[in-house]
Amino acid sequence: MTDMTGTPRRALLVVDVQPTFCEGGALAVTGGDAVARAIAEYAAAHRDRYDLVVTTQDWHVDPGAHFSATPDYVDTWPPHAVAGTAEAELHPALADLRPDVGVRKGEYAAAYSGFEGVDADGRPLADVLREAGVSDVDVVGIAESHCVRATAVDALTLGLRTRVLTDLTVPVTPEQGAAARAAMAAAGAELVDSDLL
Protein backbone atom coordinates (compact mmCIF):
# COMPACT_ATOMS: atom_id res chain seq x y z
CA MET A 1 0.00 0.00 0.00
CA THR A 2 0.97 3.61 -0.40
CA ASP A 3 0.04 6.79 1.41
CA MET A 4 -1.95 9.62 -0.18
CA THR A 5 1.17 10.91 -1.96
CA GLY A 6 1.81 7.53 -3.54
CA THR A 7 4.79 6.84 -1.28
CA PRO A 8 5.08 3.23 -0.03
CA ARG A 9 4.52 2.81 3.69
CA ARG A 10 7.64 1.34 5.27
CA ALA A 11 8.30 -0.40 8.59
CA LEU A 12 11.57 -1.04 10.39
CA LEU A 13 11.58 -4.53 11.91
CA VAL A 14 14.12 -4.76 14.75
CA VAL A 15 14.54 -8.49 15.30
CA ASP A 16 15.51 -9.97 18.68
CA VAL A 17 17.98 -7.31 19.84
CA GLN A 18 18.14 -8.73 23.35
CA PRO A 19 20.96 -9.24 25.87
CA THR A 20 20.51 -13.01 25.66
CA PHE A 21 21.94 -12.88 22.10
CA CYS A 22 24.77 -10.45 22.89
CA GLU A 23 28.13 -10.76 24.60
CA GLY A 24 27.67 -12.30 28.03
CA GLY A 25 24.23 -13.66 27.18
CA ALA A 26 23.05 -17.25 27.27
CA LEU A 27 23.22 -17.58 23.48
CA ALA A 28 25.74 -14.88 22.66
CA VAL A 29 26.54 -13.76 19.13
CA THR A 30 29.89 -12.03 18.71
CA GLY A 31 29.24 -8.45 17.67
CA GLY A 32 25.74 -8.37 19.16
CA ASP A 33 26.36 -5.40 21.45
CA ALA A 34 27.90 -3.36 18.64
CA VAL A 35 24.97 -4.11 16.33
CA ALA A 36 22.51 -3.13 19.07
CA ARG A 37 24.22 0.25 19.40
CA ALA A 38 24.40 0.71 15.62
CA ILE A 39 20.68 -0.05 15.24
CA ALA A 40 19.84 2.46 17.97
CA GLU A 41 21.92 5.15 16.25
CA TYR A 42 20.43 4.39 12.84
CA ALA A 43 16.85 4.43 14.14
CA ALA A 44 17.40 7.71 15.99
CA ALA A 45 18.88 9.37 12.90
CA HIS A 46 16.33 8.02 10.41
CA ARG A 47 13.04 7.62 12.25
CA ASP A 48 11.42 9.85 9.62
CA ARG A 49 11.98 7.12 7.01
CA TYR A 50 9.53 4.79 8.75
CA ASP A 51 5.79 4.80 9.23
CA LEU A 52 6.12 2.06 11.84
CA VAL A 53 8.93 0.70 14.02
CA VAL A 54 8.41 -2.81 15.37
CA THR A 55 10.58 -4.81 17.75
CA THR A 56 10.46 -8.59 18.10
CA GLN A 57 11.64 -10.57 21.11
CA ASP A 58 12.20 -14.22 21.82
CA TRP A 59 10.08 -14.74 24.95
CA HIS A 60 10.31 -18.37 26.00
CA VAL A 61 8.13 -19.78 28.78
CA ASP A 62 8.32 -23.49 27.92
CA PRO A 63 9.38 -23.99 24.32
CA GLY A 64 9.66 -27.76 24.69
CA ALA A 65 12.47 -29.46 22.79
CA HIS A 66 13.83 -26.06 21.65
CA PHE A 67 15.68 -26.01 25.00
CA SER A 68 18.14 -28.77 25.75
CA ALA A 69 20.80 -29.56 28.34
CA THR A 70 22.77 -31.14 25.46
CA PRO A 71 21.98 -28.80 22.54
CA ASP A 72 22.94 -29.53 18.96
CA TYR A 73 22.83 -25.81 18.03
CA VAL A 74 20.72 -26.67 14.99
CA ASP A 75 17.32 -27.62 16.39
CA THR A 76 18.05 -27.47 20.11
CA TRP A 77 19.69 -24.72 22.15
CA PRO A 78 20.67 -23.88 25.72
CA PRO A 79 17.93 -22.05 27.63
CA HIS A 80 17.81 -18.42 26.46
CA ALA A 81 15.43 -15.44 26.37
CA VAL A 82 13.46 -16.83 29.30
CA ALA A 83 10.28 -14.78 29.67
CA GLY A 84 10.44 -12.23 32.46
CA THR A 85 14.23 -12.20 32.79
CA ALA A 86 16.50 -9.25 32.08
CA GLU A 87 18.14 -11.18 29.24
CA ALA A 88 14.80 -11.39 27.42
CA GLU A 89 14.11 -7.66 27.55
CA LEU A 90 15.14 -5.35 24.75
CA HIS A 91 18.84 -4.49 24.74
CA PRO A 92 19.62 -1.42 26.89
CA ALA A 93 20.97 0.33 23.78
CA LEU A 94 17.36 0.48 22.53
CA ALA A 95 16.12 2.34 25.62
CA ASP A 96 15.25 5.42 23.56
CA LEU A 97 13.93 3.56 20.49
CA ARG A 98 10.24 3.98 21.44
CA PRO A 99 8.88 1.37 19.03
CA ASP A 100 5.31 1.69 17.83
CA VAL A 101 4.68 -2.01 18.40
CA GLY A 102 6.46 -4.81 20.28
CA VAL A 103 5.97 -8.43 19.26
CA ARG A 104 6.92 -11.43 21.39
CA LYS A 105 7.33 -14.94 20.07
CA GLY A 106 8.16 -18.45 21.15
CA GLU A 107 6.39 -18.77 24.50
CA TYR A 108 5.68 -22.46 23.86
CA ALA A 109 7.52 -23.13 20.59
CA ALA A 110 10.83 -22.45 18.85
CA ALA A 111 9.61 -19.44 16.79
CA TYR A 112 12.46 -18.03 14.73
CA SER A 113 10.46 -15.62 12.58
CA GLY A 114 9.02 -12.41 13.96
CA PHE A 115 5.88 -13.35 12.05
CA GLU A 116 5.31 -16.13 14.59
CA GLY A 117 4.88 -13.50 17.29
CA VAL A 118 2.00 -11.38 18.55
CA ASP A 119 1.72 -7.94 20.09
CA ALA A 120 0.26 -7.09 23.50
CA ASP A 121 -3.25 -7.28 22.01
CA GLY A 122 -2.63 -10.72 20.53
CA ARG A 123 -2.31 -9.47 16.95
CA PRO A 124 0.11 -11.42 14.73
CA LEU A 125 2.85 -9.32 13.16
CA ALA A 126 1.32 -9.77 9.69
CA ASP A 127 -1.92 -8.19 10.95
CA VAL A 128 -0.05 -5.33 12.63
CA LEU A 129 1.67 -4.46 9.36
CA ARG A 130 -1.44 -4.92 7.24
CA GLU A 131 -3.55 -2.72 9.51
CA ALA A 132 -0.87 -0.01 9.29
CA GLY A 133 -0.90 -0.22 5.49
CA VAL A 134 2.75 -1.27 5.35
CA SER A 135 4.05 -2.46 1.97
CA ASP A 136 7.81 -2.34 2.53
CA VAL A 137 9.99 -3.53 5.41
CA ASP A 138 13.61 -3.05 6.41
CA VAL A 139 14.87 -5.89 8.60
CA VAL A 140 17.72 -5.54 11.12
CA GLY A 141 18.75 -7.43 14.25
CA ILE A 142 20.18 -10.64 15.65
CA ALA A 143 21.03 -13.15 14.41
CA GLU A 144 21.22 -12.72 10.66
CA SER A 145 21.66 -16.45 10.17
CA HIS A 146 18.53 -17.43 12.10
CA CYS A 147 15.75 -15.05 13.18
CA VAL A 148 16.59 -12.23 10.77
CA ARG A 149 16.65 -14.68 7.86
CA ALA A 150 13.38 -16.32 8.91
CA THR A 151 11.66 -12.95 9.40
CA ALA A 152 12.84 -11.61 6.03
CA VAL A 153 11.78 -14.73 4.14
CA ASP A 154 8.35 -14.69 5.79
CA ALA A 155 7.94 -11.01 4.92
CA LEU A 156 8.64 -11.82 1.29
CA THR A 157 6.19 -14.73 1.39
CA LEU A 158 3.53 -12.25 2.53
CA GLY A 159 4.26 -10.03 -0.46
CA LEU A 160 6.14 -7.31 1.40
CA ARG A 161 9.03 -5.63 -0.39
CA THR A 162 11.91 -6.51 1.88
CA ARG A 163 15.35 -5.06 2.46
CA VAL A 164 17.88 -6.46 4.91
CA LEU A 165 20.30 -3.81 6.17
CA THR A 166 23.39 -5.98 6.26
CA ASP A 167 25.52 -3.70 8.43
CA LEU A 168 22.80 -3.71 11.12
CA THR A 169 22.74 -7.44 11.66
CA VAL A 170 25.26 -10.11 12.62
CA PRO A 171 25.30 -13.89 12.06
CA VAL A 172 26.22 -16.66 14.46
CA THR A 173 29.17 -17.55 12.19
CA PRO A 174 30.46 -16.02 8.93
CA GLU A 175 29.59 -19.23 7.09
CA GLN A 176 26.02 -19.23 8.37
CA GLY A 177 25.77 -15.56 7.51
CA ALA A 178 26.81 -16.18 3.91
CA ALA A 179 24.26 -18.97 3.62
CA ALA A 180 21.54 -16.76 5.10
CA ARG A 181 22.30 -13.89 2.72
CA ALA A 182 22.16 -16.27 -0.23
CA ALA A 183 18.82 -17.64 0.95
CA MET A 184 17.33 -14.18 1.54
CA ALA A 185 18.52 -12.92 -1.83
CA ALA A 186 17.15 -16.01 -3.57
CA ALA A 187 13.79 -15.36 -1.91
CA GLY A 188 13.79 -11.82 -3.28
CA ALA A 189 15.23 -9.69 -0.49
CA GLU A 190 17.39 -6.68 -1.31
CA LEU A 191 20.60 -6.78 0.73
CA VAL A 192 21.93 -3.28 1.32
CA ASP A 193 24.22 -1.33 3.62
CA SER A 194 22.28 1.28 5.59
CA ASP A 195 24.81 3.95 4.60
CA LEU A 196 23.74 3.51 0.96
CA LEU A 197 20.05 4.26 1.55
Contacts of 61 (CB under 8 A, 6+ apart): 82, 83, 107, 108
Handedness of CA 108, 52, 137, 55 (dihedral sign): negative
From the centroid of its chain, how far is CA 3? 25
Q: Are 139 and 113 contacting, i.e. CB atoms less than 8 angstroms apart?
A: no
Amino acid letter at 145? S
Cα–Cα nearest to 142, from 1, 2, 15: 15
Among candidate residues 22, 136, 138, 147, the one labeled active-site is 147
Query: Does 193 qualify as catalytic in the annotation?
Result: no
Which candidate in 16, 51, 136, 138 is catalytic?
16
105 is annotated as an active-site residue: yes
Q: Which of 105, 136, 138, 154 is catalytic?
A: 105
Query: Is 58 annotated in the active site?
Result: no
Active site residues: 16, 105, 147
